[in-house]
Chains A and B, each alone.
Chain A
Amino acid sequence: MKRRAALWLATLASVLVLLPAVAGQYLLSVMTLFLFFAYAGQAWNIMMGFAGQLSLGHSLYLGVGAYAAAALYFHFGIGPWAGLWLAIALCALLGAAIGALAFRYGVAGVYFTLMTIAFAEFARIGLDHFAWLGGSGGMFLKVAERDRMEVLNLRGTPAMFYYVILALSAAALALSAWLLHSRAGYYWQAIRENEDAAQALGINTFRWKMLACVISAAMTALAGVFSAFYYSSLFPEQLFSINRSVEIILGPIIGGVGTIFGPIVGAALLTVLAEGTSEIVVAFGWEVPGIKQLIYGIVLFAVIVFLPHGIWSALARKLKVRE
């Protein structure tokens, strides 16, 4: 059983690693998008899936991470490999601050969720009026020539970005798998299932919830740094918007909240679905505006109605895979 799973993982990994050698630009950009959402989804999954704290404001960490690294590069010429530490530190601090405020003052459940949204929206409107970071007009990083590699400044070919996000996703996968079966992971699951009971058993719920917040925020910061340098343009309306938070959490929800592979399976399905419907629409020659969104919405709806615990949870049961 273990050997078969390892074989599957090794095959998948080698396909992903060798892909840029055969894939065209389009496929590579789709795969990059998929891995980006797989990574961000895994980061969110640690907070909601493992520790049971529903955050709908993860765009805050995405945006702060992106702006921190981009501002250092834009204003001071400091490359992203140094800037990402600032991004991580800022987001970890923010996560800790929000977590401490919420958990100390007893803000829980839907109130906690709205508080995370409030912080993200606050930051979005604030950055819209912050001229040093470009305001609502956006901030633009110098676009490098597509074929010139400048790994030190994270400027280069699409294949380089693909490998960066692939490495990040793989690292996140390893981290999630390790965390879920660590001491922290079992505490988190106890808190997720019944916080009062966990506390009664002597678990310091405040401390472990804080840890989940900080890890999740710090991981999302890296997704922000990646997106800043991949797209080379930053707008508060895009990075901090609540739609961005929803996009991040769709993958884990479709794939299976609280599982290790769920966020990846969910992100893969969503990306294939979004790109696939565009292809179908083109192939059939339907020129109805909004039909892509319609198909996308219907499939999502069907998945949620028929597989409420996520695709991966159902698949894992069928394949008798235990995480």
Chain B
Amino acid sequence: MISCGGIAGCMMIMLVDLTPGLGPAYTLLAFVIVIVGGLGSMTGALVGGVLIGVSEALAGFYVTPSAKGMFSFALLILILLFRPRGLLGSKL
């Protein structure tokens, strides 16, 4: 799992600037993606990642790049309201 994160970091660094303070924003983003997909579901994480990634990219293109984070959090709130355990999370 940690090595997956490392690989993701290596690929990311080709696209973004590197600072020591980079971590928390991406930790939060990863948390959002996992929750959207459903905690404990691998497919869910994949679906959540694509959903959040594409919606952020679209929001960045059509609205303003700096406000794109707002849309993923809005999406998260909406999804939680209709599916309290995420898209593919198991019912407890």
Given A128-B66, A129-B66, A242-B24: A122 and B35 interface contact (C-beta under 8 Å) = no
Please tell me if the beta carbons of B70 and A111 are within 8 angstroms of each other in the complex. no
Please tell me if the beta carbons of A110 and B77 are within 8 angstroms of each other in the complex. no
A118 interface residue, CB < 8 Å from B?
A: yes
CB closest chain-B residue, reference A126:
B70
Please tell me if the beta carbons of A118 and B73 are within 8 angstroms of each other in the complex. yes
Given A114-B35, A129-B64: A121 and B81 interface contact (C-beta under 8 Å) = no
CB closest chain-A residue, reference B75:
A118
CB closest chain-A residue, reference B64:
A129
CB closest chain-B residue, reference A107:
B84
A7 interface residue, CB < 8 Å from B?
A: no
CB closest chain-B residue, reference A108:
B84
A272 interface residue, CB < 8 Å from B?
A: no
- A:156-191 near B, CB below 8 Å: none
Please tell me if the beta carbons of A118 and B69 are within 8 angstroms of each other in the complex. no
Give the residue among B39, B73, B76, B86 with the most A Cβ atoms within 10 A. Answer: B73
Contact of B28 among A105, A106, A117 (CB under 8 A): A117
Please tell me if the beta carbons of A122 and B77 are within 8 angstroms of each other in the complex. yes
Q: Mark B60-74, 1 if CB is under 8 A from A, else 0.
A: 000010110110011
Please tell me if the beta carbons of B70 and A107 are within 8 angstroms of each other in the complex. no
Q: Please, which residues of chain B bring their CB within 8 A of the CB of A111?
A: 35, 39, 80, 84-86
Q: Please, which residues of chain A bring their CB within 8 A of the CB of B28?
A: 117, 121, 242
- A:259-285 near B, CB below 8 Å: none
Q: Please, which residues of chain B bring their CB within 8 A of the CB of A115?
A: 76-77, 80
- B:46-92 near A, CB below 8 Å: 64, 66-67, 69-70, 73-74, 76-77, 80-82, 84-86
A114 to B64 CA separation, bound complex (whole angstroms): 24
CB closest chain-B residue, reference A125:
B70
Given A105-B84, A114-B32: A125 and B77 interface contact (C-beta under 8 Å) = no
- A:74-130 near B, CB below 8 Å: 101-102, 105-108, 110-111, 114-115, 117-119, 121-122, 125-126, 128-129
By secondary structure, the A interface counts as helix
Give the distance to chain B from A5, nearest Cβ to Cβ, in Å. Answer: 41
Q: Please, which residues of chain A bring their CB within 8 A of the CB of B31?
A: 114, 117
Q: Please, which residues of chain B bring their CB within 8 A of the CB of A105?
A: 80-82, 84
Q: Please, which residues of chain A bring their CB within 8 A of the CB of B80?
A: 102, 105, 107, 111, 114-115, 118
Give the distance to chain B from A316, nearest Cβ to Cβ, in Å. Answer: 34
CB closest chain-B residue, reference A128:
B66
Please tell me if the beta carbons of B84 and A122 are within 8 angstroms of each other in the complex. no
Please tell me if the beta carbons of A114 and B67 are within 8 angstroms of each other in the complex. no
A57 to B82 CA separation, bound complex (whole angstroms): 21
CB closest chain-A residue, reference B25:
A242
A108 to B39 CA separation, bound complex (whole angstroms): 13
Please tell me if the beta carbons of A118 and B64 are within 8 angstroms of each other in the complex. no
Please tell me if the beta carbons of B77 and A118 are within 8 angstroms of each other in the complex. yes
Q: Please, which residues of chain A bring their CB within 8 A of the CB of B39?
A: 110-111
A119 to B74 CA separation, bound complex (whole angstroms): 8
Q: Please, which residues of chain A bring their CB within 8 A of the CB of B35?
A: 110-111, 114
Q: Please, which residues of chain A bring their CB within 8 A of the CB of B32?
A: 114, 118
Give the distance to chain A from B33, nearest Cβ to Cβ, in Å. Answer: 11
Give the distance to chain A from B12, nearest Cβ to Cβ, in Å. Answer: 20
Q: Mark B33-46, 1 if CB is under 8 A from A, else 0.
A: 00100010000000
Q: List 14 A-B contacts (CB under 8 A).
A: A101-B81, A105-B80, A105-B82, A107-B80, A107-B84, A111-B80, A114-B31, A115-B80, A117-B28, A118-B74, A118-B76, A119-B77, A121-B28, A129-B66
Given contacts A106-B84, A108-B84, 9 further A-B contacts (CB under 8 A): A105-B84, A107-B84, A118-B76, A118-B80, A119-B73, A122-B70, A122-B77, A125-B67, A128-B66
Closest 6 CB pairs of A and B: A125-B70, A118-B73, A122-B73, A106-B84, A107-B84, A118-B76
